[in-house]
A and B are shown apart, each in its own frame.
Chain A
Amino acid sequence: MNFNNIRAIIANDITTVIRVKWRFLELTYFPLSSILIWGLFAIQSRAYAAEAGLIVLVVNLFWSFSQLAQQQANILVMEDLWSFSIKHILIAGVSETEYIIAKLITSTSAAIIITSFLLLIANAFGAPLLANLGTVAAIAGIALLGSVSLAILISGTIIMLGKEYGFLSWSMLQVFVFLSAPFFSPDIFPVPIRWITEIMPFTYVFQSARAIATNVPVQNSTLLHALSAVIAYFIFAWPYYYYSFRRARKTGMLAKMSS
């Protein structure tokens, strides 16, 4: 592992974000506006559905966090594909591992910084987050591992199938979030979908988030479930990612995307 390569890619990605002003806006605009919308809803719903308002707010915070970490990593990969820079990077001796680790570090750093502000805002709207900071941090860590795993899987898929599949960067998480039963109990789904819900990376993360919002203690078993699920994704993501590169080199997709 060449840490110099990782450092260089991170610095280059930060420079790109600085040079493209709207990228910084894109990073902050959606999560910030979501938290404001649901924060105001939480205030208004105090009169008739206080818990519902807070559930929506807290779950949204974790949703935004997961989305930022995953989406930004994949969009950074897409920027290299759109600009054909990926060729120059790979032929400069940067390994696939160094490449994706750099992207993940940049995206998770951005997600942590932005979400910290969002957390303070959500707390100001009445979500009991600072009071449960230890649990919040544990769930955020688990959610982050889930997002990172998805980012690796999605990057691999795009490398293998081509940049036409770039839309997965900003749309794939939606499916995972839906099947992870964000605002409701998985029991609401028909039985076959409930099975799928069991293996989704964020099901137990959202379940814990709902518990925090309603001041119910989060069970250790729930956290363990959540951690097991995302570790399974993380373990599966790496061989898939390496296979994707091997496949893209074999089919010519990597060369095609590079020129």
Chain B
Amino acid sequence: MHPIVLKNISKTFYTKNKEIHALKNVNLEVEEGEMFGFLGPNGAGKTTLINIMLNLLTPDTGSVQILGKAPSGDVLKQINVVAGGSMFHWALRPSDILKFYAQIYQVKNPLNRIQELASMFKMEHILERKFGYLSTGEKLRVAFAKSLLNEPKLLLMDEPTLGLDPDVARHVRKEVQRLNQQGTTILLTSHYMHEVEQLCNRIAFIYKGQIIDVGRVKDITRKHFGTYDVFILLDKAPSKMFLNAHKLDSRGKTIKATYSDEDELSKLLVCVHKAGYSVMDITVKKPNLEDYFIKILGQQ
């Protein structure tokens, strides 16, 4: 069973003067146990889609299946969500908040579970402080703890590390990876490309309400770029004859080559050796998600 199945989802918002097509015929299936990245620029439709999955928004057309059913009561109790900038009542303490949601999710041994999560997110010391007085990072830890109370089968994460200090963001990423390894299916939206690249098995890129690409990061970048750049630092500046013979660019002692497969690089290294140069350093620059993101936005 696919935890998320979206079929032909369209959504248009109407303002006084115009229609905004937020989603156009979106189709998406997320596999069980995978960590799926959802990318796109601001206003692309990511949060709209998440709101539809959470039944906070109804699509104009299409169907949504979460854990095999329409997203309502029982299904929603088995999933959870964490979003950057999650808010709770300012006057409540994290312990109050977690107790409340533990009761809503009918968590067995709620106090033990709260202690367990407090320890996992290193928030024992803030459990009795008012939520409104916590820092951004501390608030997010509370939101994370709340989102794991019910040990969700599916966790939707909307920009979870937005505005976090690097060390807290790293901790969050580790926890997300650990959760995924334990079998939780995760859908992650993020503006941080390296985060998605590091964490996700597959990604979907959404732009102007349409899914443009779905697949593994490696496959998508290969499809769009096909080549990668290699920078080889030699012991001395290469001769013009050598550069022309191999159609290479150079700057000082560094030569730059562009290849589509790794065999060509091996052949070049042999030629470099035969020509009497020694290789001091090699840097391979493969296109990443950020390059992909910029390329797609440029094309559109």
Contact = CB atoms under 8 A, between A and B. Distances in A.
A91 B51 CA distance: 10
A65 B178 CA distance: 53
Interface residues of B, number: 36
B54 interface: yes
B100 A11 contact: yes
Nearest to A21: B91
A93 B76 CA distance: 5
A92 B56 contact: no
B250 interface: no
B88 A88 contact: yes
Interface in B223-278: none
B77 A4 contact: no
A4 B102 CA distance: 11
Contacts of A252: 13, 48, 51, 57
A91 B88 contact: no
Contacts of B92: 12, 15-16, 19
Interface string A234-259: 00000000000010011110110011
A254 B13 CA distance: 13
Given A91-B76, A93-B73, A11 B88 contact: no
A93 B77 contact: yes
A16 B91 contact: yes
B103 A92 contact: no
A148 B146 CA distance: 32
Given A84-B87, A92-B105, A255 B96 contact: no
Given A85-B87, A91-B76, A12 B96 contact: yes
B103 A2 contact: no
B24 interface: no
B74 interface: yes
A12 B101 CA distance: 9
Contact of B88 (A83, A90, A259): A83
B56 A87 contact: yes
B106 interface: yes
A258 B56 contact: yes
Contact of A89 (B51, B83, B104): B104
B44 interface: no
Interface string A58-100: 0000000000000000000001100111011111111100000
B57 A8 contact: no
Interface in B27-52: 47-48, 51
Contacts of A93: 72-77, 104
A95 B77 CA distance: 11
A79 B81 contact: no
B90 A83 contact: yes
Contacts of B87: 83-85
Nearest to B76: A93
A92 B104 contact: yes
A200 to B, nearest CB: 34
B58 interface: yes
Contact of B89 (A11, A79, A92, A95): A79
A84 to B, nearest CB: 4
Nearest to A258: B56
Given A7-B103, A83-B88, A92 B76 contact: yes
B202 interface: no
Nearest to B156: A91
Given A87-B56, A250-B58, A16 B104 contact: no
Contacts of B80: 91
B93 interface: yes
Interface in B61-81: 72-77, 80-81
B55 A19 contact: no
Given A2-B73, A90-B56, A258-B56, A19 B104 contact: no
B130 interface: yes
A91 B89 contact: no
Nearest to B77: A93
Contacts of A12: 92, 96, 100
Given A83-B88, A83-B89, A249-B55, A19 B130 contact: yes
Contact of B73 (A20, A80, A95): A95
19 contacts: A2-B73, A5-B104, A12-B100, A15-B92, A16-B92, A19-B91, A19-B130, A80-B89, A83-B87, A83-B89, A84-B86, A84-B88, A91-B55, A91-B56, A92-B77, A92-B104, A255-B56, A258-B51, A259-B51
Instruction: Give the top 6 A-B pairs by smallest Cβ distance, nearest first.
Output: A93-B76, A8-B103, A84-B87, A255-B51, A93-B77, A83-B89
Given A88-B88, A92-B76, 8 more contacts: A4-B106, A16-B91, A19-B89, A87-B56, A91-B80, A251-B13, A252-B51, A254-B57
